[in-house]
Amino acid sequence: MPFYEFRCTECARIFISKIVIGDAQKPLYCPTCGSTKLSRLASIFAGVISDIDSDNEDNSSSDKGSNNQAA
């Protein structure tokens, strides 16, 4: 579910709202003044990078090194 930032054109309040796909046509209201005159702002988003694969690669390379030492 995406989050969007909005600015109320009546009171200038900036707030974040979660928009569910089925609710995309429902009107949004400013939480401060109740106005529906809103403008959507360009927001920055963050992603999560998993390091599980890199941990597995580190373990497998250390295992290979120990195999080479034993041979």
Task: Compute the distance between CA of residue 38 and CA of residue 17 in angstroms, rounded to an integer.
Answer: 12
pTM of the model: 0.54
Burial call 2-27: b when 16+ CB within 10 Å, e when fewer: eeeebbbeeeeeebeeeeeeeeeeee
In a domain, 1, yes or no: yes
**CATH number, domain containing residue 15:** 2.20.28
Residue pLDDT, tens place only, 9-57: 999 999 988 877 776 678 889 999 999 999 988 866 666 676 665 555 5
- Residue 39 inside a domain? The answer is yes
User: Does 59 reside within a domain?
Assistant: no
User: Into how many domains does the chain fold?
Assistant: 1
| Inter-CA distances, 42 with 3, 5, 23, 45, Å | 11, 7, 20, 10
